[in-house]
Amino acid sequence: MDDALAGLDDVDWARLSHAYGSADDVPASLRALRVPDEEERLTALYELHANIYHQGNRYEASAHAVPFLLALAADPTTPGRDDPLYLATGMAVGYDESHLPSGVGIEDWRREVARMRAADPAAEERQMDAWVEEAADPGERASRKRQRELLDAGVVLRNAEAELAAYDAVRAGLSGVRGLLADGDAYVRAAAAYTLGWLPEEAAASVPALRTLLGAETDPAVTANALVSVGLLDDRDLIPRLREHLAGDEPLPRWAAAVALLRLGVAEPSVIAELAATSIAPPETAGTPVAFLNGDLRLYSATCLAAMDDAPPEAADAVLDGLSRTSDDASFPMAAAALKLAFGAPSGPSVPSAPLPPFDELTPVQQRAVRTIAELTSGTWDWVNLWEILREWGLPTDRDACRTYAGLA
């Protein structure tokens, strides 16, 4: 009997559902994560991402798979043990970009699920209809209508419950994840440090474990993951150590310390300078990964700066420099961060954007933001993702129109 997968066949997987129907194929994929052949393991991992974590969604079967993924990660005989741990963590929180830079607001999350459980389904249906009608323009209304046609209140509630169940399944196994901070494999330590940052209800046990790791860790990327996590877990007692890392020579821990310090409310010039520099030219990463935002240090830095209530001018300049160095899907969140720094937060999805004034009436940083976006590659402009972002700030969603507005050829 495989101890890491003990009890796998006791679960009635055929009764559970995932993205493509019955979850009766999940056990075979979980078992395949144990085989020596790397290609076969990667195929199984792909299958699991596709069916129990499809495009960041969680399903009835997702929470049931979590204990086995955590057990596989904890078993030293499992090849590539960080992979099942990252998958379990993804199912706990979805795509991590939706929680950054502030971290998981678990109290609000639990409160909203409780509200949905107690709500009148008919009232929920009316609320979704009103959401469609509140769209700012016909294009947005058509997009919302398509989404609305795929949902009903019962589906929304089931999805919300599946997400929270997966989160709680990871929380239930977090003591084992903390044990992995002492693992001999740096990839496993990095994944464990990353995971702990997403579960603030366990901070009382996780913060001391992360401090112990930081006292002995030599791998810069593992240290960076741990530093970001202590910031997300609100460990203010560690601010002196974070300042030491910020003044250090290692680029990854220095960047991570700046991220954590700003999350903890320390907006000193040295913190802003580090995040500004990384927004322009992030340090090279190789080997052990910095897991947050899939290792996109430029975007994480820009996101932190854009979340500030009163960001200094150099923050917008740096993010715009960074945006000019991106293309395709890497440009979309950077453009959103740049526009927020230049124009402020948009009014909201139900409030029509105010018409833009003539270009020469914009502030210098606003003019630069528009020009930088107008000069993104034509391939980047082919994506509807960019148009949706521009629509929020009332900018032209056609490249030629945007260039004309900005006075470019």
CB 14, CB 23: distance < 8 Å: yes
Q: What is the 3-state secondary structure (H, E, C) of 224-247?
A: HHHHHHHHHCCCHHHHHHHHHHHC
pLDDT over 70 (residue 111): yes
Measured CA to CA in angstroms, residue 395 lies from 108, 151, 164 at distances of 32, 30, 37
- Predicted model pTM: 0.92
Q: Which of 167-171, 187-191, 222-226, 393-397 is the least confident region?
A: 393-397
Average pLDDT over residues 336-362: 83
State the average pLDDT for the chain: 94
pLDDT over 50 (residue 399): yes
Determine the length of the chain.
409
d(CA 261, CA 214): 16
Band (400; pLDDT cuts 50, 70, 90):
very high
d(CA 279, CA 26): 40
Token duo for residue 25:
């194929």
Q: Is the dihedral of CA 365, 366, 372, 373 positive or negative?
A: positive
Measured CA to CA in angstroms, residue 72 lies from 93, 298, 386 at distances of 20, 32, 39
Question: Element (H or E) spanning 17, and its range?
Answer: strand 17-18
Question: Element (H or E) spanning 114, and its range?
Answer: helix 106-118
pLDDT over 90 (residue 11): yes
Q: Is 409 exposed, middle or buried (0-12, 13-18, 19+ CB in 10 A)?
A: exposed
Measured CA to CA in angstroms, residue 238 lies from 52, 132, 241, 245, 258 at distances of 37, 46, 5, 11, 13
| pLDDT value at residue 107 | 97
Average pLDDT over residues 20-26: 95
Q: How many C-beta neighbours within 10 Å does residue 71 have?
A: 22
Give the phi and the psi of residue 256 in degrees, each rounded to 5: -65, -35
Measured CA to CA in angstroms, residue 201 lies from 21, 52, 85, 171, 325 at distances of 33, 25, 19, 9, 38
Average pLDDT over residues 379-405: 94
Average pLDDT over residues 197-219: 98
Q: Which residues pair with 21 in a beta bridge?
A: 18
Higher pLDDT, 365 or 128: 365
| pLDDT value at residue 1 | 46
Locus of tokens 């320390």: 266
CA 330 to chain centre: 14
Average pLDDT over residues 113-132: 88
Average pLDDT over residues 37-51: 96
Residues 294-316 pLDDT 10s: 999 999 999 999 999 999 999 99
